[in-house]
Amino acid sequence: MSESLTMPAHVAVIMDGNGRWAKKHGVPRLSGHKAGMEALKKIVRRSGELGIDYLTVYAFSTENWKRSEEEVGGIFRILVYYMEREIRELHQENVKVNILGDYSIIPEAARKAVADAVEKTKNNTGLQFNIALNYGGRDEILRAVKKIAGEVRDGKRDPEDLKEEDISAALYTGGMPDPDLIIRTSGELRLSNFLIWQCAYSEFYFTDTLWPDFDEKAYEEALQAFTHRKRNFGGR
């Protein structure tokens, strides 16, 4: 792929299809999640190489707690393994790890691994790698509204002066640009409560490819498609 093309500054990915990949290959669902983590490594690395500023991935939603205890526990064990194994390389590549969502309630080992990664990479200036963890778009907006409402109650804000930018600033993504491109794998055509405030003018790219099979070539095809979109942001 020609790296002279204008890359999106912020790419967000709904990593879907791990379970279907496992079923297709006749292996346990957790094997699909492990394969998905390997795919993620490739996409993070390629994003950094292409000069993308922000990569946000939907790792675990507020709704995912409804899955079986075995699967949820396995997902977090895989997360711990990924963080502990990859953090050194991410740090060397100047990647900054950031978390979107309330990760205070996830299992202790995962919480510690995530906190350590955030702390270790906090001063890095390369790709910002946002992991949406125990994240839900509506929950994010509700938290922002409660924060702003508290400031109004305390006399720190006049509600008549509120602007869209004030709500954006109160979100987990405060200070970041909205995603230019949102990719969803596995053929599903919905947002599933992901970045629902931030996606107002995002371009969408849907593919039937299951997430564990979404390699660098598939990623570059999505980016290539983005470069041919004309973005008017409501204008003509």
> How many Å apart are CA 129 and CA 114, to the nearest integer?
12
Q: How many residues does the chain have?
A: 236
Report how far residue 39's alpha carbon sits from residue 176's, in angstroms, rounded to the nearest whole number. Answer: 25
123 catalytic residue (yes or no): no
Q: Which of 16, 18, 98, 134 is catalytic?
A: 16
Candidate list 64, 116, 124, 215, residue with the active-site label: 64
Quick check: is 215 catalytic?
no
Active-site residues, by number, are 16, 64
